[in-house]
Amino acid sequence: MFPSKVEERLSESEKIINREVAASLRYLCQAANITRSSFEQAFTGISYATWRNYLNEDYPNNRSVAVLAAFSWYIGLSMNSFYLGSRLKPFLGLTDDSLRLLTLMSGLGTQHFDIACQTAFALLDSDQQAALEADFLDARKAHQKIAGRCDFVAPLDVADFSRDYCQSCAWGFQRIQAKRGFSDEEMAETLGVSVHRYQRISDPEDTLPISAAVAARMKVGFELEDTSFMLEGMKTYPQFRVLRQYQEKRDAMLRPLLGGLSEASTLKLSRALKVLFG
């Protein structure tokens, strides 16, 4: 049996998403200087060889959104940036140097992150400070509310994290379905999967991974601005749900802050943070 036109389009969209995710992850790993040693110190339950496949644009298999979530926790950036591919740096408004600085700052613990942001703000000129001050103070207040509550826990067991993540997402799919009054067939169509696959990923007792493509279609297909409610059922790692609730604010604070720094200030801040926080 030949694939239908719909199946062909879905297959092609998955290839595009997988390529974009791979490109973004590769940029971020290079910027953050993530080596095999640092990866294996941060994660268990996933081999470095498997992770390298995630960075390979030609790797044909889907990327598990739970694995991407675990990496987003480690690197400190929201998963939205993982779907940008070659558009990552232009979208963020950052150069290679400021992208490296972004990954350095995002990976800091909450108290060190706040110190780094204050240092960066002090390096802006007076006009930039005046333009950013109100948003910067609001974002800092939001950040301080969760200080120390959701720092990355190393080494993170990715297999254990994935079970907790996927179980919570299964309950999230059920909530969306009940709220929309959709049948299994309608949910499957929106997510671009078979009915059988939808029934598996919406079953909290099933451990079938959810692909990055399904996560993207969910957000677009159901027109969701915020998807953190999907993580309300996380029991083993509830702090990750807390992280997701403020991650966008944290990213929104960092991008204009780093984008406004001169090249000299960017290098000066990078050196200072490496001395202070290693």
What is the pLDDT averaged over residues 178-200? 96
Cα 204 from Cα 207, distance rounded (Å): 8
What tokens were used for 119? 């240092």
Q: Given this model, what pLDDT does residue 8 score?
A: 52
Give the closest residue to 117 by CA, choosing from 109, 173, 179, 151.
109
Q: Are 114 and 147 in contact (CB under 8 A)?
A: yes
Report pLDDT digits (tens) over 62-111: 999 999 999 999 988 888 888 888 887 777 777 888 888 888 887 777 77
| pTM of this structure | 0.85
Q: Given this model, what pLDDT does residue 4 score?
A: 45
**Mean pLDDT of all residues in the chain?**
87
Report pLDDT digits (tens) over 229-263: 999 999 999 989 888 877 766 776 777 788 888 88
Give the closest residue to 254 by CA, choosing from 148, 86, 96, 99.
99
Query: What is the fold, at CATH topology level, of the domain defined by 156-240?
Result: 434 Repressor (Amino-terminal Domain) (1.10.260)
What tokens were used for 33? 């200087």
What tokens were used for 257? 């802050």
Q: Given this model, what pLDDT does residue 223 score?
A: 92
Report pLDDT digits (tens) over 26-72: 999 998 889 999 999 999 999 999 999 999 999 989 999 999 999 99
Report the share of the chain in percent with pLDDT over 90: 49
Q: Considering only 30-34, 56-60, 143-147, 264-268, which range has the smallest mean pLDDT?
A: 143-147
Domain with CATH 1.10.260 in the chain: 156-240
Q: Are 110 and 277 in contact (CB under 8 A)?
A: no
Identify the band that residue 149 occupies on the pLDDT scale cut at 50, 70 and 90.
low
Identify the band that residue 113 occupies on the pLDDT scale cut at 50, 70 and 90.
confident
pLDDT at 140 over 80: no
